[in-house]
Structure 1
Amino acid sequence: MSDIPIKGLAELQKLLDELPARIEANVVRGGVRAGARVIANEAKRLCPVGGVSGSLRKGEQPGALRDSIRVSAKSSKGRVTATIKAGGKNEVFYAGMVEFGTARHLIKPKNRKSLSVGGDPREAVQHPGAKKKPFMRPALDAKAQDAVETMADYARNRLPDEIAKLK
């Protein structure tokens, strides 16, 4: 993993260190989620849209990969993390294959004796592989600073409300 220089984190940390833990958890979690959404929106913009028009199988429709990009945030033991995910285990399982590409490989049938390719039975088919089409990492690289600024704006706007609740 490479380091991405980000400006303003020290000032943000100083502000957060002065807050009670409950406020910190609520405000920071919301801010981290808002910052992650900036990156997720860029990933959706950069995500290649393929698929099969009119397909009834989930995950094959045009835009299924783009629509699978989601953000979650959690706090545990004073640490707040956000996760941006694309794909899933069953329907849009190919997110990593799109991001990183695939090598040339042999496809063999799992439960049958042969595959049908264009109506011809085959024992195996050589797949040429797929070129990588990264969308998650370029989104992070392009929007990291904007995400931090969004987090700071969120905290600046939300803190007065949270402080007023304490009074």
Structure 2
Amino acid sequence: MGFRAIDYIQRKAAGMYALCDNWANTLRDEVKINAKWKDRTSHARQAIHSDVEPGNNEYTIYVSHGVQYGGYLEEGTPPHIIRPKNKKALYWKGAAHPVRQVNHPGTKGFKTIENTMLANKERIKNTIIDYWSD
């Protein structure tokens, strides 16, 4: 009887990884679909990735950006000054004249990953409870 219980728990633990991996992929796909930013190259959307990290009878599901500026898309930016790096002034098509700096007002974050995780929290919890309840 004792060996069957240990075997049962080991099989459930292995299935738990598969369950979490399935959720990680589902969340990743949902984040890609729900991302509200305007794609220019699609690199940010394509680079969103997910995984599961098991350890000490715990499983961590994560979804994250794979581009350097992913944090800005998620959290936004504070007001900041933009200055030229290699020239004396900044100029862009449509500008009246070159300028030494631009006072950028900052951007609001899209919080796509955060909102997706929060929206699915109860479903994930219920799926795990159901899995261990049988």
What is the TM-score when the length of structure 2 is the normalising length?
0.71
Cα distance in structure 2, aligned partners of 1:38 and 1:150? 13
How many equivalent residue pairs?
A: 126
Asked if 1:37 corresponds to 2:16, the answer is: no
Offset at residue 104 of structure 1 (A) = 1.7
- CA–CA distance in 1 between the matches of 2:114 and 2:83? 32
User: CA 1:134–1:74 in 2, change beyond 3 Å: closer, same or farther?
Assistant: closer
Aligned: 1:103 with 2:78:
yes
CA-based RMSD: 3.1
SS in 1 for 2:88: coil
CA contact (8 A) 2:37 2:73 kept: no
Greater RCO, 1 or 2 (C-alpha within 8 Å, sep 6+): 1
Contact kept in structure 2, 1:69 and 1:84, CA below 8 Å: yes
In 2, the alpha carbon distance for the partners of 1:24 and 1:110 equals 56
Residue in structure 2 matched with residue 162 of structure 1 by the alignment: none
Three-state SS of the structure 2 residue aligned to 1:133 is coil
Partner of 2:117: 140
Which SS does the other structure have where 2:77 is aligned? coil
Deviations 1:117-152 (A, max 9, x none): 337433211112112322111111211222334556
Q: Secondary structure at the match of 2:63?
A: strand
Alpha-carbon spacing, 1:49–1:131, altered in 2? closer, same or farther (3 Å) = closer
Aligned to 1:74: 53
SS of structure 2 residue aligned to 1:19 = helix
Residues 150 and 69 (structure 1), Cα distance of their counterparts in 2 relative to 1, 3 Å cut: farther
After TM superposition, which residue ranges in structure 1, 4 or more long, deviate above 4 angstroms? 149-153
Q: Which residue of 1 aligns with 2:89?
A: 114
CA distance in 2, matches of 1:136, 1:66: 11
User: CA offsets, 1:48-92, max 9 Å, x none?
Assistant: 14133xxxxxxxx1x432222211112234432222112x3xxx3
Unaligned runs of 5+ in 1: 1-14, 53-60, 157-167
